[in-house]
Structure 1
Amino acid sequence: MNAEPQPAPEPSHAATPGAGAPAGHRPVVTRAGMAWTATITALVLLVLLIAFMVQNQDAARVRFFGLDGTISLGIALLIAAIGGGALVAVAGAVRIIQLRSRNRDTPTTPRP
């Protein structure tokens, strides 16, 4: 009798997690997935910020260019952080505009 070797049966993926995906395969990153991750991260940061503000209700005396008043410490720090973020955003926007202007003025050379 001449018996040909039979191929080994393929293992069933039905009981394994991630069935249908090869081992070591990474999931596809989509814009919707990135937006969902950013939303969850922002919500966690918002909860932490609210907890910070609730725990820092002590009055703080603030003086700024002749203005003098009392404000909650948490609110004062929030205003300072937003002001710092705005300054960084303005500096970044100026740099982006500068680079785009320089790129627009530079003639492009065709590639061989």
Structure 2
Amino acid sequence: MTRFTDSARSTKVQSGPEINDRPRPVPRVRVGGSLIAFAASAVVLLLLLIFILQNGQRTDVHFFGAQGQLSMGVALLLAAVFGVLLVTVQATVRRIVQLRLLTPRRRTTPSTTITRPGPPDTEPGADVPEERN
């Protein structure tokens, strides 16, 4: 039988920037994801601004009897926003209906209601306060 010596069992422990000869991984934080989302939304807004500025010619807009003049870029942007809102409302209503169909409905019938008897020495209706005139 072989005995292990202290030098064979010792492990190298470091508390510096490297662990076991590999660099320590950088911890992930939530701020990184929000910074990426912020940068992406800033790029999208910049592209929308460029789109609106390049499509500045005026056009007539008619919608359910209302009429007016808008720049082409603003009119197209409003059409896109209303399209997104319609899809969102449709998806929300669809999900609500789906959840309502999946949840079981509890119906109470008069025969299943449980009444608690009052103390034996009181009259029925004694705990109900009288009306004041």
Q: Which of 21, 24, 27 does residue 20 from structure 1 map onto?
A: 24
Root-mean-square deviation (CA, aligned residues, Å) is: 3.2
Tell me the matched-pair count.
Answer: 93
Q: 1:93 to 1:56 in 2, by over 3 A?
A: same
Instruction: Find the counterpart in structure 2 of residue 49 from structure 1.
Output: 48
> 1:84: Cα distance to partner?
0.2
**TM-score calculated relative to the size of structure 1:** 0.65
Gaps of at least 5 residues in structure 1 are 1-12, 22-26, 107-112
**TM-score calculated relative to the size of structure 2:** 0.56
Separation (CA, whole Å) in 2 of partners of 1:50 and 1:60 = 18
Equivalent AA in structure 2 for residue 99 of structure 1? Q
> 1:69: Cα distance to partner?
1.9
Separation (CA, whole Å) in 2 of partners of 1:72 and 1:58 = 5
Runs of 4+ in 1 over 3 A off after TM superposition: none
Separation (CA, whole Å) in 2 of partners of 1:42 and 1:81 = 16
SS at match of 2:92: helix
Instruction: Find the counterpart in structure 1 of residue 104 from structure 2.
Output: 105
Separation (CA, whole Å) in 1 of partners of 2:41 and 2:89 = 22
Separation (CA, whole Å) in 2 of partners of 1:38 and 1:98 = 31
Deviations 1:73-104 (A, max 9, x none): 01101110110010011011112212222232
Separation (CA, whole Å) in 2 of partners of 1:53 and 1:72 = 8
